[in-house]
Structure formats: C-alpha cells, structure tokens
Amino acid sequence: MSNVENLHGDLAAMRDTYVPRGVATAHPLFASRAAGAYLWDTAGKKYLDFVGGIGVLNVGHNHPAVVAAVQQQLTAFSHVCFQVVGYEPYIRLAARLAELVGPGQGYKSVFLTTGAEAVENAIKIARSYTNRPGVIAFRGGFHGRTLMGMSLTGMSSPYKQNFGPFAPDVYHAPYPNSYHGISTSDALAAIDQIFSTQVAADRVAAIILEPVQGDGGFLAAPSEFMKALRELSTKHGIVLIVDEIQTGFGRTGEMFGFQHSGVQPDLITVAKSLAGGLPISGVVGRAEMIEAPQPGGLGGTYGGNPLACAAANAVLDIFEQEDLLGRSRKIGALLRGGLESHREKHQEMGEIRQTGAMVAVELVVDRATKAPAAALVQRVLDAARDEGLLLIKCGVERNVIRFLAPLTTSDEDVSDAIEIFGRALQSAKLAD
C-alpha cells in the first residue's frame, strides 16, 4: 500500500474514531491544498470545486490579496477582542458594509463569528427594538444550528431531529415556489392567517427570510413578495430581516440578494463569503434599530477577529477591482445555458433555478408528478466526484443539486463542469 493510501486510510480511521457521525461530510475526501476554483485531495487528485466551502469562497480558494492581507495583519496582532480595545480593520469594515447596504442611510454594523450567531443577534436586536416576542420565518428556510437557528429553520430533517423543545414564539409560513404551486398570494395569505390565528401582528418583532433560499433549494423570492413583505412589516411596525448569509457578496449577481427587488431591509445578516474563508459574520442594520440593545448586549470574544476583518476588507477590494458582480452574472448565464441543453435529454431534470451565479437543478422521478429523486441526486454527486467535480445537494427533500462556483472561475472550467454533470447524470441513471 502506498504512502498516499496509508494517509487516506489513517485519516478515515481517525475520523471514524474521533469525530462524531453528526458532523456529516458530503464527500469521502481529505483536502491537501486548494487554489482558485480547484481543490486537491491527499491522493493528489484535482477537482473543480463547485461547492466552495458551501458558498464561502466567492473569490476562490487562497486569493493572493486575501492571503496577503491576513499575513500583514498577523504580523501586527491576531486577536485582542473588540470588547477590550478597538482596531482599524473592524471599524473600516463596519463603515464599508453600512454604505454597501444603505448608502448614506445611517446603517451600522456589528461583527460576530458564525452565520447562526448573526441570526441570533438579529433576532435579539429586533426584539429589543420592538419589545415584542414573535418572529415569522418560512418553510424551507435555513438559519443555523443553534437553538434559535433551528427554531427559525423551516426543515425538520436533518436539522431538528430530536433536539427540541425549540424556542417559542416562532411561526412558519410557506415560501413562494411556483414549481410546486405556491404563489406569492398563497404565502401572503398564510401570514395573514398567522396574524389571525396564532399571534397578533402587534406582537411580532420580526419577519426573517432569505431572498433566495439556500439549503431550501435555491428558490428566489419574487420581487412582488419582497415588496409586499416590506409594506406589511412597515405597516405593523415589524422589523424586516433579510438573511444574506449565502446570497451575499455577489452570489446572485448583485452584492446582496435584496437588491434585485429594490426593497430596503431593516437588518441583514452576513457571513460565508464575507472574508474569503475566514470565520466572520455580522448584522448590518438601521441605526435606530441596531442601537436598541444596551452596551454589553451585543458582541462575542472572537466576533470581528482582526484577521477575518483584514480578509473581509480585501474581499471587498477584490469585488471592486475584478468586477466579480459582472463575472457572477456571466457564470450564471453559462451554467444555465449548459444545464438547459442537458434538460432536453433528461426528463429527470425538473426545474433549473438561477439568480446570478446561484444555480441549481431539481431532479424528479418524472416531470408530471414532480416526485423528488433524492437517490438519483446522490448518485449524480458521486459520479461527478469520480470525474473530478465537487457538488452538493439541497432542498427540503434533498433532491436539488446546487452549483456554487467561485466567481473567479474561468469560462473553460464552467464548460468542463457542465460536461461532467451531463455524464454524471447519464451514468447515475444507468446505475439505477
């Protein structure tokens, strides 16, 4: 047995021995290095990485500007805790994000560590500001694995399992999904029903939604739905929270997903691609709302870590210098076109969804019933990996394949990924 095989076997054995099964891993690989849109495993095999740490690497693996920024900050200090003393990278990042979200509108930013932490703090801010308990979220939404995150998440498996009881005063409404017959009118009527039967509107602190559901299947909220939620929340004094953790930083072809509708949210949560792979999250919000908690009510030991703030500032520079928003739209168009060409040959390809470079395809048993083909999805993922393409699944029924290519991916690599997907789908069908 070679040293490479020994290393993989040793790591696999140690993982089984020391890492709990609850930490799932989509692909049975161990990374050795990565650059741009590529990842190499411990056997030296090269993969096109269209997962990107689950939407974290919009600027690609190890972008030189991010690496340089982190190295420079590391020579100064790696951690002091912003609740002890302040530092320039945090303050500069707070200002830049506030102006990106609401130019000249008086937004402020607080930084944390994980997406779930950002969501938790957004709810805290909304409750503090309104002095109300209720929160409305949506079926199919994903907001994290903490207690409040799980409570807000609109999927039972695998996230809720037997982890309850969950946080009270959380109410779920259907999210628009035209492919499965849920209209904007249906979703809005359901909210009215919640107000009538479960919690009065004047007891609701916040409505939280993803402008494009991530783990729920890459479903985009129609503009008319976003506008109606804005009107509804303003009418009733409810804080509108837009969860941009997966959609943010160019994934949808705009810097933030809410910008497609022209709606201005009260609070947005950010994380994932903000810092090119370093852990940081944040809440950006209207000053009068985000100022509601008293001193000491927000923060965290590692929140806004100096290395992560330096990386995030570098990421924003990269967006300005490399036109990654334009690149996002181009990659999305290429992916959609390629997938549409495959759809003509494969009846199992139900709906193709694309907002910028946020692209997914729902696989079904047949287009008439639209029954989910979750087993086929897993075979496609395995076959694609064998050919050197990493993808992951999503959707409430886990029957949607998502494409999260770095926005630095070349046209040639996008074309290669489309070809591999087509072969993987054909192979997976034959293996049924």
CA distance 85 to 93: 16
Q: 166 near 147, Cβ under 8 Å? A: yes
Q: Which CATH class is domain 3-62+323-430?
A: alpha beta
Q: 371 near 393, Cβ under 8 Å? A: no
Residue 424: per-residue pLDDT: 97
Q: Do domains 3-62+323-430 and 65-322 have the same CATH topology?
A: no
Integer-rounded Cα radius of gyration of the chain: 21
For the chain, domain boundaries: 3-62+323-430, 65-322
Q: Name the stretches of the chain with pLDDT < 50.
A: none
Residue 2: per-residue pLDDT: 66
Q: Which CATH class is domain 65-322?
A: alpha beta
pTM: 0.96
Helix (H, G, I), strand (E, B) or coil at 362: strand
Residue 157: per-residue pLDDT: 86
Residue 7: per-residue pLDDT: 82
Angle, in degrees to the nearest 10, between helices 64-76 and 306-322? 150
Q: How far apart are the first and last CA of the chain?
A: 33
DSSP letter at 396? T
Strand partners, 172: 137
Tell me the CA distances in angstroms from 88 to 82, 91, 310, one per residue in order.
10, 5, 9
